[in-house]
Every structure is written in C-alpha cells, then in structure tokens.
Structure 1
Amino acid sequence: MPSPPAPARPTTPRPAGARPASRRRGPGWVPREHGAWAMLVVPVLVGAILTTPTWRNALLLVTWLVAYLAFHATGLWLRASRRPRYLPPVRAYGVTLVVLGAVLLGSAPGLVRWAPAYGVLLTTSLVCSRRRADRSWLNDAVTVGAAVLMSVVSAGLGRDGTPSATTLTGTWVPPGADDAAAWAVAAVLAGYFLGTVPYVKTLLRSRGSRVVLAVSVGWHAALVLAACAVLVSRLADDRSGGTGAAVALVVVAACLLARAVLVPRVRPWPSPKAIGFGEIAATLAVTAATLTTPTLLP
C-alpha cells in the first residue's frame, strides 16, 4: 500500500512588502546615520560653487560618497570582530572606490597632496571603530573635519581653481584670494557641523545631561561672539562690502544658539524625524550664509 502523504507544514504568512529571508541584504550596505548625508554633500557643493563647478567636482562628489559607504561598512565590520557576513559591502564599496579614485587622481594628480591629512583622519576613525568608540567625541570631531576639508578640496577642482590640475607640482587649492575664501568657507562649515555634535547628543544619546547641554550652548554662544566680531570689524572698515554677509552670519548663529538652548527643553522630546527636518532647515540656512563668506575678505 502506498504510504499516506505527509501532513503539510503550517506556514506563517509573510507581511505584505517583506522580502524573503534569502533576499534580505546583509548589514553594512545602507548607513543608518541619515544626518551624515548633508555633512558629506554640502562642503563639496559649496567648494564647487566657490570656483565654478566642473565635471571633476561631480566625480569628486560621487567618489566621496562611495568612500563614505566603504568607510561605514569597514567600521561596522571591525566593530563586529570581522565576521564574514559583514564583509561583502566592504569588498563591493572598496573595489568601486579604487576604480573611481583612480579615475579622479588620473584627472587631477595634485589631489594626492591631501593623502597625508586624510590618512591620519581615516586611521584615527577606524581605530575608534575597532575599539567600539565610534560614538566618541574624538571620532565625531575627526569625521566632521574630514567632511569640512572637502570644501577646500572641491574648490581646488573648480574652473577658477587649480590651474595645473594635471601635474603633481601644480597648486592644490584655489590661488590668491580664492585660496583664503576656500578656507574661510571651511571655517564657517566647521563651526556649524562641530556644533551639531553636542546639539544632537542633547536630544538623543545624552539627553538630560547638563554637561553635554552646557557644551552645546557654550559652543553656539562662541559662534555668536565670533560672528559679532566679524560684523564689528566690517562696520569699522571704510568699505561697505561684506556687511550684509556679516549680518547674515550673526543672524544664523543667533538662531542656532536659540535652538541649542530651547529645543532640548521641549517636552515630549522631539522625534528623530523632527530632529532631521530641523537639521535640514539649519543646514540650508548655514549654506546660504556660507556662500556669502568670501565677500568678507579684504
């Protein structure tokens, strides 16, 4: 006699839109730090606008974003004690970065002069990741520094930037006044993005901490004082140029200080989505003020 059919196994219905387990992507492919994208993109765009964008600026932006994806995947792999399941995105993004980087350096070999600076920043951050200190103040400062420095790198690739982009002996930042303008822009962006580090901590991981709140408020108060000093110096100058830009910096800095003081006191606590929208608005305001910064230079 034929054996009776085996009873069917009960199946659990899969929620609509859910991927089968075999198709789910492993960890490390998509970063969860959504706020990092503005910090990555804005300096490159501002630097490009400063000296008129070229196709090299677009290539730099794509390469920089892939570098961030590779960096994020590598950091996650290190924190996971180098488990094999975390390795695929490291390989994929790493290979893509090598290809894009080779094309970029082939078009502008002078960029290799930035290698020592970014080598130190990258090594420091990866060591922090290896020690599971990726949320430390040091690592936050290092990542902000790497992102902000991109404004000067990008400015050097603009149409009015490096005149000898195909030689290692060529200048690697915009010449003359544009050189100072690129660093002035980087300084303004650094002031803002470094301030977001303690500010965001007061709303998420360190909310309720009086020490972190004091650091956040103190930093933003210092930005207001610096902006006021710039305004006073412009008013004391016989020339009227740049006064409007100085006023814009004071207004933006004052708004950021008010945000640092008031938002952490809101109850209930702002949601991550609300914090993200607030960061977008603040970044747009800072970017607009930053683009006027070159008019402050003598």
Structure 2
Amino acid sequence: MDRTTFTYDVEDGIAHIRLNRPAAFNTMNGAFWAEFPAAFDEIAADMRVRAVLISSTGRHFSAGLDLKWAAESQGRAHADPGRARESFRRHVKDMQQCFEAIDQCRVPVIAAIQGGCIGGGLDLVSACDLRVGTADCFFTIQEVNVGIVADVGTLQRLPYLLPQGLVRELAYTGRRWAAKEALAQGFLNQLHDTHEDAVAAGLALAREIAAKSPLVITGIKQVLNAGRDMTIAQGLDYVAVWNAGMLQGEDSSRAIAAQLNKGQASYGDLAP
C-alpha cells in the first residue's frame, strides 16, 4: 500500500519503520492510524522478519496526535447522543489497536527516539520491547495538558515499566520527563549522543536478536506478555506447556552445537 506517514523496508531480517513527517513533527494524522497497523499486518505475514526497529526523522520523534485531525474526528455527530458516544468509543478502540499491534507483534520491537516523544509518541514507544534514545530526548504524557485522559495505552503499559508514583506524577502533571531520568528508571535501555548513534544502536540490537532462533524469540515474547496478567504459578505453567510443545524442533540442537564449537548457529525462518 502507499504510505504517506512513514517509510518501511525489510533488510537482513529487520523491518525498519521510519516516521516521515518531520515538518509536522511526525504528528499522527488520519493516514497514520490506518497505515501503521497495516504495516504490522505485513510483518505478521512476513516470516523473514525477526525484529522491528521504529525510528523517526527530523527534530522530534513524534509530537503525538494531530490535534486538528482529532478535532475533526470528534466533530462527527449523530442526532442520538448514545449512538454518537458509541461510535466514538469504537474510534478510540481502533486507535488503541494501532499500538496493540506492537505489543502483540510476533517479534521484538525496538524504538530509537530523538527529541520530543509526546502524547501518542509515548503511547507508541511504551508498547515497544526496547527503547534507545538520544541525550536530548524527552517524554510527556501530554493528554492532561489538552483536557484528555490518555487513552491509547500509556496509562495501561507504563505501570508495568515504571514505579506507580512516577507514573502518577507524569500523568497528573504532564511535565517533561528527561532522557537521563528515563534511563535511570529503566525506561530507556541505552542513551546516545546523536540521532544517528541511537538508530545505529537500535539496528545493532535488532541484528543481535535476529541472529537468535526465531522460534525461541517469539516464545520469550509470548511468555513475557502472558506473564503480565498471570500469577507466578500460572506463568510457570504457561512456559512449561510452551516448551513442551515447541522445544522439539531443531533450533535447540543447533544452538547447543554452536555453543560447543564456539560458533554461530544459523536458524530457518518460522513457517508461514
């Protein structure tokens, strides 16, 4: 499909999405909300893909929701207020699914962040598995500053990534959360001086992941995601069943042989 809000390519098992509206600070307009999940549909169907990198262009990673488009979307009215509100609920659920596609992606997703990562931008990177940033990057739960309860994932995912007190402070105040603080709190995995260095670091992580068994990597992500909503006992049972079902393939023997020979194993793609 034609894309107007980002570029997309796959090379050496890594899908790279680059937000590409720098003049508009990569705000998320109507086209973005349609194009972004479609790209993840492609990733889901492409067994060559073993990791995803999301980067951006220009001064800021993303200034979040395109407020003009959002105002127009809210303006769709129906004579019956109940039907109007039900329609808007479906609209929000569709937007939520955009970043749920990251969370539920078969492979790990890495974000390389520069400058401002605001509102919807924070929703996006909160759904990623790993985050690297530039020294000048910052994050803002902007919704509180425009009279909205953040509703596309930040308030649901950040409490799994950060202390409750910090999440509540950021959500209540809408203050800038600087890169060094985000690194110290574990939200950022790495910090780099320049945008180019951050993207290079994100690609290096993606390549390292892509060299592992894709069967094991997808299993790790499935087990970690499932464990968020389970007790420890349930999580242990889930991974026992997973390994009982998936560990009978050839990847384990290849990995062990490579370790014994101090070499690098080669793994086939998952079945389509």
TM-score by length of 2: 0.29
Please identify the structure whose Cα radius of gyration is greater: 1
Which has a greater percent of helix? Answer: 1
Which has a greater percent of strand? Answer: 2
